[in-house]
Chain A
């Protein structure tokens, strides 16, 4: 009876948050969200300097961003619209190529035993731990060694490499939940293996495939480091374009653009959650 009168000393039952753990969780969330919060605050600032917090607030950087977006001046190497177009094209291509590679890879890794399987799994996960700068330089060397120009595919190939761990992991998580008996049932009913794949396995894998594709899109859309080594004037992506603006003259317009990009990302992540729910996504 007495323990109920002392709520701070009460021992939490399993599954309950105590004040301490709740406060810790809130702190971590605030730290994690800090960059985005700062960015949003700065985008509404009304001074020419990058002082934080801004001395005054206004919409001038949004106006300026709108202006740049609608009528780029000659001083810009490339318009934002073009960069956005490149980013979207690369992200879409990355998404589809990553899925086309990840689905058979995840299937093979789950269903077959073969020598070197552990090695293949390691290789697929490698881009997650590889230093991005080294990856950019290595790819630059390889692409320059090629006797022909591959243009935008420099970026697509690099992004597919980076997106593959996410795509494969999500596909693998979904195939792991589909026992071989579904395919076997289809065989018994008269389906050839390829037919069973399309009629049964792929529809059942759908949540994982969609999650993997969206991850691939988001990874590609936000990728900067590797892209920085590989882009040229015709294939500048949005993150690189943003960076180029902060280098030449650090103008707070970029915050407005960044808010816009983060909004796109938020929509995609929301879509992801909507499509697959909590249990379908593997990070």
Chain B
């Protein structure tokens, strides 16, 4: 059961530009792996090299121990869904799905059976003879997936397949694709620049930055424990603040405020670090303490005083920007917990030490 894709020292150069740099990665069998990064980070090129649509400048690709590096795309037996879907407009839905089977000279009856089975799977059983042009966006999406799955490929590649859909349909399709992938247990690689999509769907997220892999981990690992500022900033909302060391597990913020932190990573004393606080880890309280000493007592305990400068209340959740001495914090809360909160309110933000993580100040960007 060594049915995994292994990528070793893969590089890709377009002229003078190195788009993919020394990528080493193993795609575990049956998992959904997401290549996540901003546009131009090399994620699509990496996927195209896996697909065989781009020849690596150097490095090796192998599956089941077989070297794939120079195998042409048509012999790799991978399924792929393109960003534009690339459904063939001159064929019907059934014609599109049957195309990979036709190429394999499978007899007509088996083809028909397989097409029916796939149409069931994507819940479009009566669409077989429709021209592709008559389908809605979501239906096309499903047909493209069915076509990619038709020949029962060893690997499914998805190149930002949902980017053309509107927000609501996209969220629904994310769940649908994820459920389908888990049901079939097919190893899948998806490229996306949408961190929410990656967190919804992936078993493993590979964050890419300027052609390199910045971090590999489960969605929560990448979210909770990013390796550097780039990853922390790219995944989710976060307060990333410049800090100074002021003792073991203790830092000083720009305004002179001291915080206890809990750093899992080993960080050298002379290293430039940032403090990452996720908005949902901060608990907010309206500041009604009258006496100075009273407030001083609470402030000591990882609590920061500030003033609300902006509120985004979307009903289900509330996001407030708090101006503190020398920096500002974004806080996520439930609107029910904070009745009467308004712009200008004085508040106290409590940040538990375990929610304060020290991270590298983006070494990737500096090195490049």
Contacts and interface: CB of A to CB of B under 8 A. Distances in A.
Interface of A: 179, 181-182, 184-192, 195, 199-200, 203-204, 206
Contact of B84 (A181, A188, A189, A192): A181
A185 B80 contact: yes
Residue of A187, A190, A191, A199 with most chain B CB atoms under a 10 A cut-off = A190
Contact of B90 (A184, A189, A204): A204
Contact of A204 (B73, B75, B78, B89): B89
A190 B72 contact: no
10 contacts: A181-B84, A182-B88, A185-B80, A187-B52, A188-B51, A188-B73, A188-B78, A188-B148, A189-B79, A190-B75
B1 to A, nearest CB: 25
Contacts of A181: 82-84, 86
B103 A185 contact: no
B53 A184 contact: yes
Given A195-B103, A199-B99, A188 B88 contact: no
Contacts of A203: 88, 90
Contacts of B297: none
Tell me which of A182, A188, A192, A199 has the highest count of chain B C-beta atoms within 10 A of its own C-beta: A188
Nearest to B102: A199
A195 B88 CA distance: 14
B74 interface: yes
B357 interface: no
Contacts of B100: 189-190
Contacts of B78: 188
Contacts of A191: 74, 103
Contacts of A179: 84, 86
B104 A190 contact: yes
Interface residues on B, range: 20 to 34
B103 A187 contact: no
A191 B84 CA distance: 19
Q: Chain A interface mostly helix, strand, loop or mixed?
A: helix
Most chain B beta-carbon contacts within 10 A, residue among A185, A187, A192, A203: A185
Contacts of B90: 203-204, 206
B210 interface: no
Contacts of B79: 188-189
Interface string B66-82: 00000011111111101
B93 to A, nearest CB: 15
A190 B151 contact: yes
A189 B76 CA distance: 9
A206 B89 CA distance: 12
Interface in B152-172: 157
A184 B83 CA distance: 12
B274 interface: no
A182 B53 CA distance: 12
Contact of B86 (A182, A190, A195): A182
Contact of A189 (B52, B53, B83, B103): B103
Contacts of A184: 51, 53, 73, 80, 82, 86
B147 interface: yes
A204 B88 CA distance: 8
Contacts of B74: 187-192
Contacts of B73: 184, 187-188
Contacts of A192: 72, 74
Contacts of A185: 80, 82, 86, 88
Given A188-B52, A203-B90, 17 more contacts: A181-B83, A181-B86, A182-B86, A184-B51, A184-B53, A185-B80, A187-B52, A187-B53, A187-B74, A188-B79, A189-B79, A189-B151, A190-B100, A190-B104, A191-B74, A199-B99, A203-B88
A201 B90 CA distance: 10
A172 B61 CA distance: 36
Nearest to B79: A188
A254 to B, nearest CB: 45
A128 to B, nearest CB: 31
Given A182-B86, A200-B88, A188 B104 contact: no
B147 A189 contact: yes
Contacts of B157: 188
Contacts of B51: 184, 188
Most chain A CB inside 10 Å of its own CB: which residue of B79, B80, B147, B148? B80
A72 B104 CA distance: 61
Given A203-B90, A204-B90, A188 B103 contact: no
Top 5 closest pairs, chain A to chain B, by CB: A189-B100, A185-B86, A187-B73, A181-B86, A190-B103
Contacts of A189: 74, 79, 99-100, 103, 147, 150-151
Interface in B255-296: none
Contacts of B72: 187, 192
B115 to A, nearest CB: 14
Contacts of B53: 184, 187-188
B163 to A, nearest CB: 13
A181 B51 CA distance: 12
